[in-house]
Amino acid sequence: MSAITRMLPSGTPTPSGFAVRFALAAAGLLLLAPAVLSDFRLSLLAKFLCFAIIAVGIGLAWGQGGMLVLGQGLFFGLGGYCMGMHMKIVDAGPGNLPDILTYSGKYESLPALWKPFSSAWFAVPMAILLPMAIAGVLGAAVFRQRIRGAYFAILSQALAGAFVIVIVGNLSLTGGTNGLTNFQTFFGLQVSSPADQRILYFVVAVTLLVVFLATRALIISRYGRLLVASRDDEDRVRFLGYDPARIKLVAYVLAAGMAGLAGALFVPVVGIISPALLGIVPSIEMVIWVALGGRTALAWAAAGAVIVNWAKSSISEQFPSTWLYLQGLLFVVVILFLPKGIAGAVEHGRSFLSSGRIRGRPDITPATATAAAAPKAGGTPKAVVAPKAVPAPKVGAKPSTEDLS
């Protein structure tokens, strides 16, 4: 970076470190990955980038706001089912029932729950707005009562579990445990076509980059500082005249909207949405992704989602029954040795290398030793004179005046 700076004319603005890192990440996602990955691996990466969008939301709510959100699977599922219902209606064609509604034989026309999702103008916004609305209702009720910590985590987790029970219990409407599957098209794209899957990959990658930039801009704004202050000392923020409940509510609602957006993109990429992908266990896994990457660093939170899921896919291909044990071990290692995740380890290593200090003493390098020993211009090096030895007094003799000086 310094060499590039020297090559630029004086007065030319140089890009910041973040701009360079973001440009490299965008180039890797939009140029390098499609060039080197096969169609199957690229589709897997698109799936993992959907998870990264969820991780960015968790990084905002948990990392910056201190809210341990264990119910993001609920919002992810709401977004996925909204998009899945629309895609099933489009695949069935005008005047026909989606196959999921014909299995029970109870319906001769679209149920009232499905009818609004015939329109893309309703389904796409609802995939984002419905999770945000539910999060707003829950958050307003919880934060006003100053419920936080483990109690908030348990409430959000219970809501995700209740959502799964509702989905499984309404077999004729939602497909039960099988969920919605066998999708054909997504806004004119063939879901099973490798070429169209590449287009979907670019859609997901660009969406992730835009969501990341918007979230980062929010964090470095005045609101972001208030959110961090509410996380660290909520009472002091309240004494200063701000309402921590509103501050935290905004972050929670935005995180829910990101999860719903990820669910809506997940359906055409993977081709299925079912209760197995939502609920308590997947919600906990989402938190593990962020904890591994680093919950206080958005980029590493998103990277943690990609790293964990890529490792899960790769290890499960070779050792199908081993991943669950490795995942548990990974979570324990992060909690005990990497409380700030990979981001904290990288930052610690960077500060260790740049500080030049070991155990509180300055690091003496050959360069500093040479500079210290070199004589000044026009002078000669001074000789090092050993200190004068003081003779030890004899036993029984009185110390002289010269000894005491």
pLDDT tens profile 205-253: 999 999 999 999 999 999 999 999 999 998 899 998 999 999 999 999 9
Is 9 inside a domain boundary?
Answer: no
Confidence of residue 171 (pLDDT cuts 50, 70, 90): confident
- Residue 324, pLDDT above cutoff 50: yes
Residue with more model confidence, 389 or 137: 137
Looking at residues 316-328, what average pLDDT do you find?
A: 81
pLDDT (0 to 100) of residue 190? 93
Among 47-61, 140-154, 260-274, 384-398, the range scoring the smallest mean pLDDT is: 384-398
Is 374 inside a domain boundary?
Answer: no
Q: What residue type is 354 in one-letter code?
A: S
21-31 residue pLDDT tens: 999 999 999 99
Confidence of residue 366 (pLDDT cuts 50, 70, 90): very low
- CB under 8 Å to 238, separation ≥6 — which residues? 244
Confidence of residue 388 (pLDDT cuts 50, 70, 90): low
Query: Distance between CA atoms of 44 and 309, rounded to whole angstroms?
Result: 9
Question: What tokens appear for 131 in the block?
Answer: 């999770």
- Residue 108, pLDDT above cutoff 80: yes
Is 12 inside a domain boundary?
Answer: no
- Residue 256, pLDDT above cutoff 80: yes
Q: Which DSSP helix (H) or strand (E) runs through 264?
A: helix 244-270
> Cβ of 268: how many Cβ atoms within 10 Å?
22
Is 365 inside a domain boundary?
Answer: no
Is 258 inside a domain boundary?
Answer: yes
Query: What are the two backbone dihedrals, phi and then psi, of residue 137, each rounded to the nearest 5 degrees?
Result: -65, -45
Tell the residue number behind the tokens 């002078």, with chain if given. Answer: 379
pLDDT (0 to 100) of residue 402? 39
Residue with more model confidence, 15 or 157: 157
Q: How far apart are the first and last CA of the chain?
A: 59
Residues paired with 273 in a beta bridge = 180
Question: What tokens appear for 203 in the block?
Answer: 């859609």
Is 360 inside a domain boundary?
Answer: no
Is 373 inside a domain boundary?
Answer: no
Per the CB < 8 A criterion, the answer to whether 68 and 153 are in contact is: yes
Looking at residues 95-107, what average pLDDT do you find?
A: 85
- State the chain's mean pLDDT as an integer: 84
Domain count, the chain: 1
Query: Distance between CA atoms of 138 and 69, rounded to whole angstroms?
Result: 12
Calculate what percentage of the chain has a pLDDT beyond 70. Answer: 84
Convert 53-87 to b/e letters by CB count within 10 Å (16 or more is b): bbbbbbbbbbbbbbbbbbbbbbbbbbbbbbbbbbb
- Residue 381, pLDDT above cutoff 60: no
- Domain range for residue 345? 17-355
Query: Distance between CA atoms of 203 and 211, rounded to whole angstroms?
Result: 12
**Prediction pTM value:** 0.83
HEC string for 99-157: HHHHCCCCCCCCCCCCHHHHCHHHHHHHHHHHHHHHHHHHHHHHHHCCCCCHHHHHHHH
Per the CB < 8 A criterion, the answer to whether 54 and 276 are in contact is: no
Is 80 inside a domain boundary?
Answer: yes
